[in-house]
Structure 1
Amino acid sequence: MRLALERLGAKGNRRQAPLTHKKSPPDQRRRRFVQEGQVVVEHHQSSRTAQRLTSPQSDEQGEEISRLRNLLKIEQRRAEDTQRELSDANVQMRTLETHLVHEKLHVTELKTKCAEIEQALLEAQVQLSRLREEAASQKRTVERDVIAAEAPVVKKRGPGRPPLARKPETRTDDQEPVRWWKD
């Protein structure tokens, strides 16, 4: 029992243990109780006799382990390829999003330009209609002036007398041209 307690790391029992029992083989280490926050890791080495006994199984296990390692390497390569493709797709997606934003900005610029052009066109149409109205009113004014100029002028004579009528002037635009050349 003392030896068992000594192996488990009982501090008080070590002093009482005989000197012959204190010496342990070099393979055995003293065990301590784990304190809070500590993790004790022990590595066990298998003996050569155990390795010799399990050698036929270890060949099969070795083949299985190498096959599993190869499968693991293949899966790691696939994971790396997939990760690379994913990062490439993310880069391409960011590039396309950037292009989309640029195109949206271009569309908004074009829409504002179209709105400005439409506004200028409406203003030009309003101005054109105003100028047409002015031209029509000036034409009417000119026609009135021409009609008034062609009308006979009536001179008034004093009060109680009828006005004198003016004779319309005859124009000589209907005369034939004089021939000055010889036939």
Structure 2
Amino acid sequence: MQDDHQVTEDALRQALSRLGSGRSQNARHAQQPQERRRRFVRDGQVVVEHQNSRNAAPRVAIQDDQDEIERLKQSVKREQRRCEESERHLGEARAQIKVLETRAAHTRIQVTELSKELREHQDIIQTLKAQVHQARELAATAAQRSPRPVGRPRKERPEQPVIDEAPVAVSVPVKAKAEPEPVQWWLKG
């Protein structure tokens, strides 16, 4: 792109120099007829007009210069569009970088928080492991203190309450004699 820019700048300078030289030639041509002696046509003479090749050449050169200038203007416009497009892409890239940096910062914060939480959980696990180890040691020392029965352990029977064989007297409240007592058929036997 730098070479392309350099080439267009050099071509633009050459075109401007040619344009400037064309104007100076026109200025000289404008001055020369004033310095020349004019001849007037006399009777019997034929007027011959010559096409001045010098006048035709500047017109062609001017046209070539104008074409070159127009081409260079279009080239400059293309370069300006490319520059604007590049600046737009650069702005988009910067915005994308900003978004990614923000995400990275949030991720770092999350990692820090999760690492802290992990350390806390690991500390809790270590504490619980130590407690389990102590409980096992206590159980082992307790098992060593009490003798172990040899053979199969007995099944324990639940204790049944001891019942006296003596009959229990049930007192029945005395009611008025007006009503006969109901027959307790279920006690008969």
> Normalising to structure 1: TM-score of the pair?
0.52
Q: 1:126 to 1:63 in 2, by over 3 A?
A: same
Q: Is structure 2 residue 50 aligned with structure 1 residue 59? A: yes
Say whether the 8 Å CA contact 1:152–1:167 is kept in structure 2: yes
> How far did residue 69 of structure 1 move?
0.8
Identity of aligned residues (%): 15
Alignment of 1:58-137 (within 5 A): 59=50, 62-137=52-127
Counterpart Cα distance in 1 of 2:81 and 2:107: 39
- Per-residue deviation, 1:122: 1.5
Question: Following the alignment from structure 1 to structure 2, what is the Cα–Cα distance between the partners of residues 79 and 142?
Answer: 92
Aligned-residue CA RMSD (Å) = 2.8
- Aligned residue pairs: how many? 110
Contact 1:152-1:166 within 8 A present in 2 as well:
yes
Deviation, structure 1 residue 67: 1.4
Write the mapping of 1:10-25 to structure 2, written as runs, cut at 5 A: none
| Structure 2 unaligned spans of 5+ | 1-37, 152-189
Which residue is 2:20 aligned to?
Answer: none
Unaligned segments of structure 1, at least 5 residues: 1-48, 154-164, 173-183
Map Cα deviations across residues 79-108 of structure 1 (whole Å, 9 max, x no partner).
Answer: 000001001100011001110111111111
**1:167 aligns with one of 140, 146, 153:** 146
Deviations 1:24-79 (A, max 9, x none): xxxxxxxxxxxxxxxxxxxxxxxxx96758x66x625x322121111111101000
Which of 106, 119, 130 in structure 2 is aligned with 1:140?
130
- The equivalent position to 2:139 in structure 1, one of 139, 145, 149, is 149
Aligned-residue offset at 1:150: 2.5
Structure 1 residues 126, 59: CA separation in 2 closer, same or farther (over 3 Å shift)? same
SS in structure 2 at match of 1:59: coil
Higher RCO by CA contacts (8 Å cutoff, separation 6 or greater)? 2
2-structure distance, mates of 1:171, 1:133: 42
Give the TM-score normalised by structure 2.
0.51
Question: Secondary structure of the equivalent of 2:90?
Answer: helix
Q: Is the 8 A contact 1:152 1:168 kept in 2?
A: no
